[in-house]
Amino acid sequence: MSSFPPTAAPRSFDDATAIRKTGDGRYVADVDLGWAAPTAANGGYLAAIVVRAITDHADPANALRLRSLTLHYLRPVGAGALELEVETIRSGRRITSVRVAARQEGKEAIAALAAFAVPDLEAAGTWLPAPPPAAPAPPREAPRLDAHRWRRDDAEHWLAVHELAPAISHRVQLAPRFGGVPFSGRAPREGESPQAGGWITLPEPHPVDAAYVALCSDVWWPPGFEPLDRPAVAPTIDLTIHFRADIPPAGLPDQAVLGWYRSSTARDGLVEEDGLLFLGDGTLLAHSRQLAIFMPV
């Protein structure tokens, strides 16, 4: 199903999302299709690149926290240079807003808006969602287990991803906890929504920084795949990420992230997905929402 199988020598997440400053508010990244979805570079991977650029531009003193990022994917992004132009729209006492235009081969491919906030804003009230019940994450060094032997309470293995799965699935370690098998034809019961997700980690230790949270918002297969009985693709139209934890620029300590993704509506060739990302101690990292084209292969 993937047009971009895993490469023989994959680049690490940091290398694959690295940016180089080329001028005032201008950056370039080298897009690596070892981090591709079925049809082009993965949306969460591209969001991580955008996070690198906007953070360098808007927060050189490491004094702010990224709180909101909305990306519109205007055309597929392939391998090679991605040029990013970042502009500060407004820098206020509490909130700083920036705009991003990312181009490949002279054509605009991503349009994005982001908001940074000062830490420790005064709160009028506080309430938080509880993470869904889930078996613990396996140790990073745990072996991988084939899908036909997988159990959702398995805390001793990571999932062995099928060789034809999208390339990005081979760059992370996944331990499913919610939903079932993509394209199994299992329709949700009345009143339920398709769901997917579980524990996510990289093969190598890495802090939980804003760029990595952006990746996790769109790294899992869509929950809308399970009810289908034949392959489909779901290229993202727009993705919004609200960063809800206090994530310092250097990131939170290395640990697995629990992603829980649900979809309530698929119609007219479009499907939506809502995501929640948690740490193992129940800390809410981020909300995400995206709209995607929903079409058969």
Per residue in 159-205, pLDDT tens? 999 888 999 999 999 999 999 999 999 988 888 899 999 999 999 99
SS3 labels along the chain: CCCCCCCCCCCCHHHHCCEEEEECCEEEEEECHHHECCCCECHHHHHHHHHHHHHHHHCCCCCCEEEEEEEEECCCCCCEEEEEEEEEEEECCCEEEEEEEEEECCEEEEEEEEEEECCCCCCCCCCCCCCCCCCCCCCCCCCEEEHHHCCCCCCCCEEECCCCCCHHHHCCEEEEEECCCCCCCCCCCCCCCCEEEEEEECCCCCCECHHHHHHHCCCCCCHHHCCCCCCEECCEEEEEEEECCCCCCCCECCCCEEEEEECCCEECCEEEEEEEEEECCCCEEEEEEEEEECEEC
Number of domains in the chain: 1
What would the pLDDT profile of 155-172 be if each residue is shown by its tens digit? 999 999 988 899 999 999
| Per-residue model confidence (pLDDT) at position 3 | 42
* Residue 113 included in any domain: yes
* Residue 271 included in any domain: yes
* Residue 1 included in any domain: no
What would the pLDDT profile of 255-280 be if each residue is shown by its tens digit? 999 999 999 999 999 999 999 999 99
pLDDT higher at 91 or 6 = 91
Structural domain boundaries, residue 41? 13-119+194-296
The stretch 250-255 carries a mean pLDDT of: 97
pLDDT higher at 172 or 2 = 172
The stretch 228-242 carries a mean pLDDT of: 96
| Per-residue model confidence (pLDDT) at position 282 | 97
Residue 1 has pLDDT above 90, yes or no: no
* Residue 151 included in any domain: no
What is the percentage of the chain residues whose pLDDT exceeds 90?
Answer: 92
* Residue 5 included in any domain: no
> Which CATH number fits the domain that encloses residue 252?
2.40.160.210
pLDDT bracket for residue 58 (50, 70, 90): very high
* Residue 84 included in any domain: yes
* Residue 34 included in any domain: yes
What would the pLDDT profile of 107-144 be if each residue is shown by its tens digit? 999 999 999 999 989 999 999 999 999 999 999 999 99
pLDDT higher at 4 or 181 = 181
What is the percentage of the chain residues whose pLDDT exceeds 70?
Answer: 97
Q: What is the mean pLDDT of the chain?
A: 95
* Residue 87 included in any domain: yes
| Per-residue model confidence (pLDDT) at position 293 | 97
